[in-house]
Amino acid sequence: MERNFASFVKKESLHILRDTRTMLVVMLIPIILMILFGFAISTEVNNVNVAVVAPERTDGVHDAVERLAQNGYFTFKGYISQNEIDQCLRSGKANAVVVFAQGYDRRAAQAAAGIETKPIIQLIFDASNVNTAGSASAYMQSVLLGTASQQAMFETRMLFNPQMKSAYNFVPGIMGLIFILVCAMMTSVSIVREKEVGTMEVLLVSPVRPVKIIFAKMIPYFAISCIVLVTILLLARYLLGVPMTGGVCGIFSLSLLYLLLSLSLGLLVSTIATTQVAALLISAMVMMMPILMLSGMLFPIENLPIFFQVVSNIVPARWYIDAVRKMMIQGLPIMAVWKNCVILLGMTAVILAVSLKKFKDKLE
Amino acid sequence: MAVIEVQNLSKSYGNVKALDGVSFSVERGELFGLIGPDGAGKTTLFRLLTTLINPDSGSATVDGYDIRDEYLAIRSRVGYMPGRFSLYPDLSVEENLQFFAAMFGVTMEESYELIAPIYKQIEPFRKRRAGKLSGGMKQKLALSCALIHNPGVLFLDEPTTGVDAVSRSEFWDMLAGLKEHGITILVSTPYMDEASRCDRIALCCEGRILEIDTPEGIVQGFDRPLYGISAKNMFALLERAREVNGVVDCYPFGEKHHLVVGDGFDEKKFRNALADIEGIEISTVKPTIEDMFIKLMKR
């Protein structure tokens, strides 16, 4: 019977390999998405042009400006006077203006000693892009204050991702999306194709249990997904510079679990759909939309209306993306996300059980 | 003992009765034909017997196994070739065969003797993708795949539909060859002219079986005189002939009209009645299965 199984897997692989176009799409989509989200679409602090207003150019001011100019994310555009601020921001010559208070050095020293309580630096931002302005201001504060953080009236620190690189955030999201796309959509379409073309009839009238054929179908897709997974991880590490301090092994194991879950979802869709188009639509509408909207990939779950927050609990990608973020960016070990693992494992078991129960070995 | 035993089998889809109380039996080694137009319920019957669907009522056994309760046993014993081409177009001829061999746990070598007469004809194209084969070659490949595990019963649902005349004739020769191996074959076709190649046939229409007999027996059952008539204006001839006394039925049949007549029909009187129609020719013709079919349908 093992020989049987091997030839089923071989047949499935031939189907995939001969469909070069689909094959290319599957391999290229992750790379394109990674580059797109990693570079083109970004909300991160990058190339912020900064002008400075300083009544006295003291040592303290020089130090602060020097730190700003040295930083790769800010470009120092020179000193301007108080009444040039508005015009400078409007014309787009600068995206941000730093204003140092009168007697900055003295007051900074007093602030360090706890005597001075009023702000001594004003940051003025062009907030037409709210996201960029918000993250830039936070980052700029930390840069200006530098090592002398005791000077701070308040202290905000961006842990793990101090530059607030958006790529860090998108990589787990892309992973959550891609594997559903490759595994669920493609397996369901390929199973439903057998129904639609009529080969399922011939498969059913044979001594082989169809479930076996279907598991054989999953294996090549699983293999492709593994290649895609490695590609994404390599791109994330070496192209986007995601730290992955939590250990690649943990991310990999969790992703394998998520692959299984996606494959089971594909099987479930194939038991519902009778045409390839229907399978595609179900995969796209019922699975992709929640992943985009409710998984925390694009919008933080905490910002969703309560109703959708509750709904998001049943979106598997939510738990996966959350866990990958923790491991990839915060550098936590897999043990720290055990709760997510258990939830994903449970979901896989339920989906698999339901789809196997729903899978009929008759035509109706 | 009958290999296929069907008793009062019925199946409905919604309000449509696809199969309405069908009974028949097929003996071992018999080539049994289901003859009837589209919508006669042939495919439904095949799907019932190959255990792909369950009947609403009635029962049937294949090779002694019940189609409802022992369907798994049936599935490993029969070969099935569905109505539409159901192989993998993106796999080559050879790969398709190897896959079906693996599915039934046999090797191509073990079954080579049985499929050789058929497979030899497509073997030169074994590296070609199945989707790129001609209609006739596709049928041969599908038949080879259905035979790969040496099944006792072969179900062929309209195997010659969409195939050229020469390939159709070749295909029936192949079926005759398979009978030598003692394989029971149930085959359906909408082409009446193919019926004579079967041992016995069942004429089906609208979910019922009208008659079961040998092709000769069916033709003998046509007990009225039959004429072939033609004229310059065939349409007028058809219209008018139907109104003549003693004419039971008149219908277009190929280049002529077939005229079924009852007692008291007189050729002279018929000619007189249709004197205004130019160039009438009348000759006696032998009834065919199609004539019988039309007669049974009108009953």
Is the CB of residue B76 less than 8 Å away from at least one CB of chain A? yes
Residue A167 has pLDDT above 70, yes or no: no
The pLDDT value recorded for residue A156 is 46
* B53 Cα to chain A: minimum distance (Å): 6
Interchain CB distance below 8 Å, A11 and B85: no
Interchain CB distance below 8 Å, A18 and B105: no
- The confidence band for A155, taking pLDDT boundaries of 50, 70 and 90, is very low
Looking up tokens 């071989």 gives A10
Residue to mutate among A202, A209, A217, A361, with most B CBs inside 10 A, is A202
Secondary structure class of A50 (helix, strand, coil): strand
Is the CB of residue A201 less than 8 Å away from at least one CB of chain B? yes
> Which residues make up the CATH 3.40.1710.10 domain(s) of chain A?
48-151
Nearest to B47 among A19, A199, A363 (CB): A363
Secondary structure class of B38 (helix, strand, coil): coil
Interchain CB distance below 8 Å, A363 and B54: no
Q: How confident is the model over A3-23, as a mean pLDDT?
A: 87
Q: Which residues pair with residue A330 across a beta bridge?
A: none
Distance set, CA A350 to CA A312, A354, B37 (Å): 17, 6, 47
Distance set, CA B139 to CA A78, B29, B160, B161, B163 (Å): 82, 22, 8, 10, 8
- The confidence band for B22, taking pLDDT boundaries of 50, 70 and 90, is very high
Q: What share of chain A is helix, strand, coil (3-state, %, to 5)?
A: 70, 5, 25
Secondary structure class of B121 (helix, strand, coil): helix
- The confidence band for A131, taking pLDDT boundaries of 50, 70 and 90, is low
- The confidence band for B132, taking pLDDT boundaries of 50, 70 and 90, is very high
Chains A–B, number of C-beta pairs less than 8 Å apart = 74
Interchain CB distance below 8 Å, B51 and A205: yes
Q: How confident is the model over A292-300, as a mean pLDDT?
A: 81
Contact A135, A164 (CB under 8 A): yes
Which residue from A minimizes the CA distance to B44?
Answer: A363
Is the CB of residue A193 less than 8 Å away from at least one CB of chain B? no
Q: How confident is the model over A112-128, as a mean pLDDT?
A: 75
Q: For A232-289, how does the pLDDT look when each residue is reduced to its tens digit (9 = 90+)?
A: 888 888 887 777 777 788 899 999 999 999 999 999 999 999 899 999 888 888 888 8
Distance set, CA B146 to CA A55, A155, B174, B197, B250 (Å): 93, 77, 13, 20, 42
> Which residues make up the CATH 3.40.50.300 domain(s) of chain B?
2-220
CATH topology assigned to domain B2-220:
Rossmann fold (3.40.50)
Interchain CB distance below 8 Å, B86 and A8: no
Is the CB of residue B187 less than 8 Å away from at least one CB of chain A? no
Interchain CB distance below 8 Å, B51 and A208: no
Which residues of B are less than 8 Å from A202 in CB distance? 80, 82, 86-87, 100, 145
Which residue from B minimizes the CA distance to A1?
Answer: B105
Interchain CB distance below 8 Å, A18 and B54: no
Q: For B230-257, how does the pLDDT look when each residue is reduced to its tens digit (9 = 90+)?
A: 999 999 999 999 988 888 999 999 899 9
Residue B162 has pLDDT above 90, yes or no: no
Contacts with B210 (C-beta within 8 Å, 6 or more apart), sequence order: B203, B204, B293, B296, B297
Nearest to B103 among A15, A208, A364 (CB): A208
Looking up tokens 């207003």 gives A53
Residue A305 has pLDDT above 90, yes or no: no
Interchain CB distance below 8 Å, A364 and B95: no
The ipTM, to two decimals, is 0.86
> Which residues make up the CATH 3.30.70 domain(s) of chain B?
226-298
Which residues of A are less than 8 Å from B50 in CB distance? 201, 205
Interchain CB distance below 8 Å, A201 and B86: yes
Contacts with A, B 34-63, CB within 8 Å: 47, 50-54
Nearest to B91 among A1, A14, A204 (CB): A14
The model carries a pTM of: 0.78
CATH topology assigned to domain A48-151:
abc type-2 transporter like fold (3.40.1710)
Is the CB of residue B242 less than 8 Å away from at least one CB of chain A? no
User: DSSP E strands: which ranges in B39-102?
Assistant: 57-62, 65-66, 78-81
Interchain CB distance below 8 Å, A202 and B86: yes
Is the CB of residue B212 less than 8 Å away from at least one CB of chain A? no
Residue B95 has pLDDT above 90, yes or no: yes
The CATH architecture that domain B226-298 belongs to is 2-Layer Sandwich (3.30)
Q: What span, in angstroms and rounded, lies between the C-alpha atoms of B121 and B116?
A: 8
Which residue from A minimizes the CA distance to B102?
Answer: A4
Which residue from A minimizes the CA distance to B84?
Answer: A198
